[in-house]
Structure 1
Amino acid sequence: MSDFRFYGFASVFIISCASVWAQETSDLEWRTYGGDLASTRYSPADLIDGDNFNDLELAWSLSTDNFGPEPEYNLQSTPLMVGGVLYSTVGSRRAVIAADAQTGELLWVHRFEEGERGAAAPRRLSGRGLAYRDNGAGGEIFYVTPGYQLIGLDAATGQRIANFGNDGVVDLKQNMDQDMDLVTGEVGLHAAPLVAGDTILIGAAHLPGSAPRSMENVKGYVRGFDASTGERKWIFHTIPGADEFGNDTWLNDSWRYTGNTGVWGQMTVDTELGIGYFATEVPTNDYYGGHRHGDNLFSDSLVAVDLETGERLWYYQFIHHDVWDWDLPCAPILVDITVDGREIKAIAQPSKQTWLYVFDRVTGEPVWPIEERAVAASNVPGELLAPTQPFPTKPPAYDRQGVGIDDLIDFTPALRAEAERIAANYRIGPIFTPPTVSEPGGPWGTLMLPSQAGGTNWAGGSLDPETGIIYLYTYTQVVSLGLINDPERSDMNYIRGRASEVSARDAALTIDGIPIIKPPWGRITAIDLNQGEILWQVPHGETPDNIRNHPRLAGVDIPRTGRVGRIGTLNTKTLLIAGEGGMFTTPSGEPGAMLRAYNKLTGAEVGAVYMPAPQSGSPMTYVLDGVQYIVVAVSGSGMSGQLLAYRLPPE
């Protein structure tokens, strides 16, 4: 019997003690998940540019197949690179690896065995990354396990830090101001922790909430921990308690039992101001709020807190009483801009609904007006929606919002007629058109665009701090929001579903595999934050094979459609770089995807290199010994996870 079966047993395998830790660190590193604490995903590296991007070759690849009992097909990690060593979470059990950043050679592997607790976790697999800290005497690595435990490791050896927490472990299910089962308590985290100075910021995530078993759930509080000891420094109640500000936005004592409202995306810190910023999610249930009347602070909000104490400094709620699951999935981004001659320390929050909300990050005041506008009421029994929702006036929405007849495909008259026939079974309307009860005779639900996955999702955006231009990938995929009553599945009055009399085939929002909504289905948008205007937009992702070769589209001239995915962007001195979220048959006849580079100022594509699988984690870059590398996680479409490292050929 393997020792790994015992609960709480951690393992570290030191593969090599190469002199890589002794290397000079004057080259460009990638020390945090977002490239920096401002979450810009920016590097000033310029050795790879538009003139030589097509010359990139694979320097090394690292398969993650053997870092768990079975391969992982959704590797979302963004590695770090510090001092010539690349660190990443990998594999279906979320191992941590250190590898030589020039060769990909493994240096050490750490795995923490959680037994039943890990198997029951709501957020499993490799996660999205980890955090690095320089403690003055050496480097430290921090990550959150699938079972929601914070682990501190010595960056040189992978051994647990003995004086951090309990022998390197902080149980995040404890000291959380609520009771839960330590094995089955439904809370976890895919996101990387964020280390800023002596504080580690930790959020919370849950199972997807479209059909929760109960209106009662774990609350997703945010905490700050001492990076040296692992002791809790503070906690922020994202669902306010009885005597706390915002409690009156939860009517009928619904704050007592409602859960979620956590932070499942990345966070951001301004160390100069000493402020931490985080963006929150929807409360329990994603699509029905009849059990939680009120605006529900601090759900769907950007919150600024004192980094040392957790004291709330300001907040802004983007959706009052969310029933669309348009929660905030990604890190806000810090940027210094000049608007109408006024210098502003700003913060920009991308969103699923494809508005970019921009604030003064010191005061919380919107840079451009955000208007409360009347929206449609709900016809769902027991539901009580907010009468107004916030509408930013600038920048404009960076993808389509709401569904109308003009959004339906018109490749041919026949396809348009079929698309209209399908849409007639649903409720359609502008953004914030609410879900509806699914009825056999119609409507079967509400067509929602953007979908509950965005728009923008967890990969967020990237920003050029020199120009104030932000880059955002989005995808356009319509979904149906129908509600049903099913007491056997939930104690809530309504959960997401479809009337049982309506078949999945009839309810499909495609015609012989063709989406009923016009392309582009994936795009990248550049927004000048000094002007609050869109600079350029381009479709991102090659047209899928089933569209290019579809018999019903024969003879139809279809420009590049873009692809659906969760794509993070990387921006360097001159380039905007992003991989594709789906496979296609390349000109050489191979199935694969492309890592594409765009001119940052114009959006013109300047290069593309082959990847054997779609991008599934956000790319990062570093310069080591005068050579620039681009590393990206790929997986999906039947391909298990790999880390790919590209570089220019040696001279």
Structure 2
Amino acid sequence: GERKWIFHTIPGGDEFGNDTWLNESWRYTGNNGVWGQISVDLELGIVYLPTEMPTNDYYGGHRHGDNLFSDSIVAVDLETGERVWHFQAIHHDVWDWDFPCAPVLVDVEIEGRPGITKVIAQPSKQSWLYVLDRETGEPIWPIEERPMPASDVPGELLALTQPFPTRPPAYDRQGVSEDDLIDFTPELRAEALERVSNFGMGPIFTPPVVADPDGSYGTLMLPSTGGGTNWPGGSVDPETGIFYQYSFTTMVSLGLVNDPERSDMDFIRGNPAGVAPRDRALTIRGLPLVKPPWGRISAIDLKTGDILWQIAHGETPDNVREHPDLQGLDIPRTGRIGRVGTLITKTLVIAGEPGTFTTPSGERGAMLRAYDKVTGAEVGVVFMPVGVSGSPMTYMHEGAQYIVVATSGGGQAGELLAFRLGE
């Protein structure tokens, strides 16, 4: 039970990376730990730490610098805890896009590289899959440092550049433009355009702003602070090197306020004073401001960095199918927002729905769905009374195979549902 080693994710005075915390902000800054799952390569003797961001999530005026080892994959020696290598995905994060889930370890024959490469693939809230050589930390495909705009928030000093993976492409939408707004009808589109006129928009890494009732209420952001991807993470087929990732699309606004009653920090996240919730809501007539799909599964080839297919995952919600302004319209399956993981078999991708809907028979529930892992075509469904809250798992017992999912929601207590596969 004695401590074997410790690695400081906020490096101390004489430790590597301490110079990325200006004005000795390392002494008082919190968080920056690992809140997702940790992965280990026993053969290499390396532990992979997907780290979070420092305090506070949306304002870095009290922690100038790149803030190592925030938003990083840190590889440390299993026996000593010494740093082997690190990769920082976001410098000086003010978007709450820290790593939420376990890095996935797989050996892949990469196109254009000799032999087998030991790969680490890290899903992210910002919907990039970071693919690195897990022995050295070198990117499999180039990751470019691109210039970023400055912040106009008093006291904030953003990083001059941010890393942009060149492959694989983002597996969900990034940044907000008018093209992302709902367009089911011209009337809904017009209302959406009117609503966003009070907010800032831009590409990924557009900075937060001070919330102003007479100006911008905040910066609209895709993916949201929850992702993209959250803690269930993704899964990989070790035989084909294809990675399967659920992600969701939901918009948030990042506005900052000075509120001494809530915090002694100069700025924290908040809403513009005096603006009614209905006037800053990111919905139009009860519909999300951003157009679907709102949940999807992507198949990503780690051999080439290509996205092979994407499908909407999750049935269209009742409030959309039954919306009076949408009657008579042919709306494809929209997908659903939630915490969803994928299970891979020899032939299938299996994932549960995070929300409920009314089936043609009148039952209200959700589906456990199976897709052909080569094409993404749906090949089967099983009814569940509520949606899932995590990843499926499978096990064998007395010669039979079972699939288990965790479910909760809709006023129902969390429980595990087990399904036995047929003979």
Which of the five TM-score ranges fits, normalised by the shorter chain? Answer: over 0.9
- In the TM superposition, what are the counterparts of 1:445-464 in structure 2 within 5 Å? 445-464=218-237
Q: Partner of 2:51 in structure 1?
A: 280
- In the TM superposition, what are the counterparts of 1:314-393 in structure 2 within 5 Å? 314-339=85-110, 340-342=112-114, 343-393=116-166
Match of 2:71 among 294, 300, 320: 300
Q: Partner of 1:548 in structure 2?
A: 321
Match of 2:312 among 516, 539, 551: 539
The CA deviation string for residues 310-341 of structure 1, in whole angstroms up to 9 with x for no partner, is 11000000000000000000000011112214
Measure the CA separation in 2 of the matches of 1:545 and 1:251.
51
Letter matched to residue 76 of structure 2: V
Q: Partner of 1:609 in structure 2?
A: 382
User: Is the aligned partner of 1:423 residue 2:207?
Assistant: no
Secondary structure, counterpart of 1:285 in structure 2: coil
Measure the CA separation in 2 of the matches of 1:356 and 1:466.
19
Secondary structure, counterpart of 1:233 in structure 2: coil
Letter matched to residue 335 of structure 2: G
Letter matched to residue 332 of structure 1: P
Secondary structure, counterpart of 1:552 in structure 2: helix
CA shift, 1:617, in A, is: 2.2
Measure the CA separation in 2 of the matches of 1:252 and 1:435.
23
Q: Partner of 1:494 in structure 2?
A: 267
Secondary structure, counterpart of 1:633 in structure 2: strand
Which structure has the bigger radius of gyration? Answer: 1
Measure the CA separation in 1 of the matches of 2:398 and 2:157.
61
CA shift, 1:278, in A, is: 1.2
Secondary structure, counterpart of 2:109 in structure 1: strand
Secondary structure, counterpart of 2:118 in structure 1: strand
- In the TM superposition, what are the counterparts of 1:553-568 in structure 2 within 5 Å? 553-568=326-341
Using structure 1 for the length normalisation, give the TM-score.
Answer: 0.64
Measure the CA separation in 2 of the matches of 1:482 and 1:503.
15
The CA deviation string for residues 513-541 of structure 1, in whole angstroms up to 9 with x for no partner, is 11111100000000000010001100000
Secondary structure, counterpart of 1:236 in structure 2: coil
Q: Partner of 2:15 in structure 1?
A: 244
Secondary structure, counterpart of 2:5 in structure 1: strand
CA shift, 1:637, in A, is: 2.1
Q: Partner of 1:401 in structure 2?
A: 174
Q: How large is the RMSD of aligned CA atoms in angstroms?
A: 0.8
Letter matched to residue 401 of structure 1: Q
Measure the CA separation in 2 of the matches of 1:637 and 1:384.
43
CA shift, 1:366, in A, is: 0.4
Q: Partner of 1:289 in structure 2?
A: 60
- In the TM superposition, what are the counterparts of 1:76-87 in structure 2 within 5 Å? none
Q: Partner of 2:371 in structure 1?
A: 598
- In the TM superposition, what are the counterparts of 1:469-480 in structure 2 within 5 Å? 469-480=242-253
Secondary structure, counterpart of 2:266 in structure 1: coil
Secondary structure, counterpart of 2:366 in structure 1: strand
CA shift, 1:442, in A, is: 2.0
The CA deviation string for residues 40-71 of structure 1, in whole angstroms up to 9 with x for no partner, is xxxxxxxxxxxxxxxxxxxxxxxxxxxxxxxx
Secondary structure, counterpart of 1:234 in structure 2: coil
Match of 2:42 among 261, 271, 276: 271
Which runs of 5 or more structure 2 residues have no equivalent in the other structure? none
- Name the count of aligned residue pairs: 421
- In the TM superposition, what are the counterparts of 1:47-86 in structure 2 within 5 Å? none
Q: Partner of 1:529 in structure 2?
A: 302
The CA deviation string for residues 25-49 of structure 1, in whole angstroms up to 9 with x for no partner, is xxxxxxxxxxxxxxxxxxxxxxxxx
Which of structure 1's runs of 4+ aligned residues deviate more than 6 A? none
Secondary structure, counterpart of 1:235 in structure 2: coil
Q: Partner of 2:3 in structure 1?
A: 232
Secondary structure, counterpart of 1:296 in structure 2: coil
Q: Which has the higher contact order (CA 8 A, sep 6+)?
A: 1
Which runs of 5 or more structure 1 residues have no equivalent in the other structure? 1-229
Measure the CA separation in 1 of the matches of 2:149 and 2:353.
36
Measure the CA separation in 2 of the matches of 1:500 and 1:529.
48
Measure the CA separation in 1 of the matches of 2:76 and 2:374.
34
Letter matched to residue 284 of structure 1: T
Match of 1:467 among 240, 244, 258: 240
Letter matched to residue 322 of structure 1: D
Measure the CA separation in 2 of the matches of 1:280 and 1:308.
20
Secondary structure, counterpart of 1:615 in structure 2: coil
Measure the CA separation in 1 of the matches of 2:372 and 2:396.
20
CA shift, 1:446, in A, is: 0.3
Secondary structure, counterpart of 1:489 in structure 2: coil
Secondary structure, counterpart of 2:349 in structure 1: strand
Measure the CA separation in 2 of the matches of 1:510 and 1:638.
24
User: Is the aligned partner of 1:578 residue 2:333?
Assistant: no
CA shift, 1:648, in A, is: 3.1
Letter matched to residue 386 of structure 1: A
CA shift, 1:411, in A, is: 0.8
Q: Partner of 2:82 in structure 1?
A: 311
Measure the CA separation in 2 of the matches of 1:538 and 1:290.
41
Measure the CA separation in 2 of the matches of 1:471 and 1:354.
13
Secondary structure, counterpart of 1:364 in structure 2: coil
Measure the CA separation in 2 of the matches of 1:392 and 1:268.
22
Letter matched to residue 43 of structure 2: E
Letter matched to residue 269 of structure 1: V
Letter matched to residue 302 of structure 1: I
The CA deviation string for residues 4-27 of structure 1, in whole angstroms up to 9 with x for no partner, is xxxxxxxxxxxxxxxxxxxxxxxx
CA shift, 1:512, in A, is: 1.4
Q: Which moved more, 1:258-267 or 1:617-626?
A: 617-626
Letter matched to residue 160 of structure 2: P
The CA deviation string for residues 240-288 of structure 1, in whole angstroms up to 9 with x for no partner, is 0001000000000100000000100001111111111010001000000
Letter matched to residue 592 of structure 1: G
Measure the CA separation in 2 of the matches of 1:587 and 1:268.
43
Measure the CA separation in 1 of the matches of 2:99 and 2:149.
22
Secondary structure, counterpart of 2:325 in structure 1: helix
Letter matched to residue 268 of structure 1: S
Measure the CA separation in 2 of the matches of 1:330 and 1:341.
28
